[in-house]
Structure 1
Amino acid sequence: MCAGGPKGGNHAAVAVRNQIYFLGESGTGDDVNQIEVHIFNVVSLYWIKLPPVPNRRGKRPVEVPPRCYDHTAVLIEDAIYIWGGYGCANNNLWEYSDELYAFDVHTHRWSRPRVSGTTPMERRDHSACALGTTMYIYGGYTQQRYTNVIYKLDTTAMAWSAIKTSGTPPPASLQGHTATVIGTHMFVFGGYGDESYSSAVRVFDTETDCWLSTTTSAHFSPKGRWGHSAFAYNGELYIFGGCNWDRTFNDLWRFDPETFSWKKVEVKGKGPSRMYYMCCCMVGDRIVLFGGYKVSDQGHKSIPADNLFILDLSPSLKTLCKLAVNRNNLKLSGLPHNIRSELVAMTKKTGGKPKPCTAKAREPLEILFARRKVLGLAHPGQNSGWLNILKLKMGRKIGRYVDIGIHMEKEKPPL
Structure 2
Amino acid sequence: MFRWTVRVNGAPQASWQCATAAVKDKLYVFGFSRDDDELRRLDVNIFNTVSLTWATLPPVTGERHQCPPEVPTYRHGHKAVPIEHVIYVWGGNRGNRLYAFDAVSHRWFNPGRVSGAVPKARAHHSACALGKVMYVYGGEFFGFHGESTISYNDICTLDTTTMVWSLVDTKGKQSHYLKYHSATIIGTKMFVFGGMNKEMRVFDKEMRVFDTETNAWLNTPSAQLHCSWHGAFLYNGELCIFGNENLHRPLGTTYILTYNDLWKFNTETFSWKEVKPKGKGPFRMCQMGCGMVGDRLVVFGGHHKGMGPHDDVYILDLSPSLKTLCKLAVIHHRLERSELPHDIRWELAAMTTNTNSDKNYEKKQRKPVIRKPVIRKPALLRIDPDLGSPPIPAILRPACPVQQSNQHSSTSRARSPPRFTAAAVNPFTTYDGNGRASLG
Instruction: Give the TM bin, normalised by the shorter chain.
Output: 0.7 to 0.9
Contact 1:126 1:139 in 2 (8 A): yes
Residue of structure 1 in register with 2:302 after alignment = 292
Q: 1:12 to 1:372 in 2, by over 3 A?
A: farther
Residue of structure 1 in register with 2:397 after alignment = none
Q: 1:106 to 1:172 in 2, by over 3 A?
A: same
Q: Deviations over 1:45-90 (max 9, x none)?
A: 1111111112421311111000111000000011000001013xxx
How far off is 1:31 after superposition? 11
Are 1:201 and 2:207 counterparts? yes
Contact 1:6 1:291 in 2 (8 A): no
Are 1:25 and 2:32 counterparts? yes
How far off is 1:11 after superposition? 0.9
Residue of structure 1 in register with 2:284 after alignment = 274
Q: Which among 65, 69, 75 is matched to residue 68 of structure 1?
A: 75
Does 140-149 or 58-67 show the bigger shift?
140-149
Q: Deviations over 1:245-299 (max 9, x none)?
A: 2322222221100111111234799742221111011111111111111122xxx
Instruction: Give the match's secondary structure for 2:69.
Output: coil
Residue of structure 2 in register with 1:393 after alignment = none
Residue of structure 2 in register with 1:348 after alignment = 353
Q: 1:388 to 1:190 in 2, by over 3 A?
A: closer
Q: 1:142 to 1:26 in 2, by over 3 A?
A: closer
Contact 1:205 1:211 in 2 (8 A): yes
Instruction: Give the match's secondary structure for 2:258.
Output: coil
Instruction: Give the match's secondary structure for 2:135.
Output: strand
Instruction: Give the match's secondary structure for 1:157.
Output: coil
1:274 and 1:106 map into 2 onto residues whose CA distance is: 34
Contact 1:124 1:140 in 2 (8 A): yes
Q: 1:4 to 1:18 in 2, by over 3 A?
A: closer
Residue of structure 1 in register with 2:251 after alignment = none
Q: 1:206 to 1:311 in 2, by over 3 A?
A: same
- The amino acid of 2:240's aligned partner reads Y
Structure 1 portions without partners, runs of 5+: 88-96, 297-301, 350-370, 374-381, 390-415
Residue of structure 2 in register with 1:119 after alignment = 118
- The amino acid of 2:90's aligned partner reads W
- The amino acid of 1:250's aligned partner reads N
Q: Which among 233, 244, 247 is matched to residue 246 of structure 2?
A: 244
Q: 1:31 to 1:329 in 2, by over 3 A?
A: farther
Are 1:11 and 2:18 counterparts? yes
Q: 1:183 to 1:292 in 2, by over 3 A?
A: same
Q: 1:16-415 counterparts in 2 under 5 A?
A: 16-27=23-34, 33-87=40-94, 97-113=95-111, 114-143=113-142, 144-167=149-172, 169-195=173-199, 196-199=201-204, 200-216=206-222, 221-223=224-226, 225-246=227-248, 247-266=257-276, 271-296=281-306, 303-349=308-354
1:116 and 1:201 map into 2 onto residues whose CA distance is: 32
2:333 and 2:178 map into 1 onto residues whose CA distance is: 51
Contact 2:83 2:131 in 1 (8 A): yes
Contact 2:81 2:129 in 1 (8 A): yes
Does 34-43 or 193-202 show the bigger shift?
193-202
1:347 and 1:270 map into 2 onto residues whose CA distance is: 13
Aligned pairs, number? 340
TM-score (norm 2): 0.72
Contact 1:308 1:372 in 2 (8 A): no
Instruction: Give the match's secondary structure for 2:63.
Output: coil
Percent identical among aligned pairs is: 50
Residue of structure 2 in register with 1:405 after alignment = none
How far off is 1:158 after superposition? 0.7
How far off is 1:112 after superposition? 2.9
- The amino acid of 2:120's aligned partner reads M
1:323 and 1:388 map into 2 onto residues whose CA distance is: 23
Contact 2:17 2:33 in 1 (8 A): no
Q: 1:32 to 1:147 in 2, by over 3 A?
A: closer
Contact 1:309 1:372 in 2 (8 A): no
Instruction: Give the match's secondary structure for 2:228.
Output: coil
- The amino acid of 2:133's aligned partner reads T
Q: 1:99 to 1:372 in 2, by over 3 A?
A: farther
2:102 and 2:346 map into 1 onto residues whose CA distance is: 29
Q: Deviations over 1:206-251 (max 9, x none)?
A: 122111110125xxx323x321111111111111222132322222
Structure 2 portions without partners, runs of 5+: 1-8, 143-148, 249-256, 366-440
Structural RMSD (CA): 2.8
Q: Deviations over 1:278-333 (max 9, x none)?
A: 1011111111111111122xxxxx51111221110101122122223333433333
Instruction: Give the match's secondary structure for 1:323.
Output: helix
1:32 and 1:194 map into 2 onto residues whose CA distance is: 30
Contact 2:10 2:311 in 1 (8 A): no
Instruction: Give the match's secondary structure for 2:166.
Output: strand
Contact 2:93 2:141 in 1 (8 A): no
- The amino acid of 1:78's aligned partner reads H
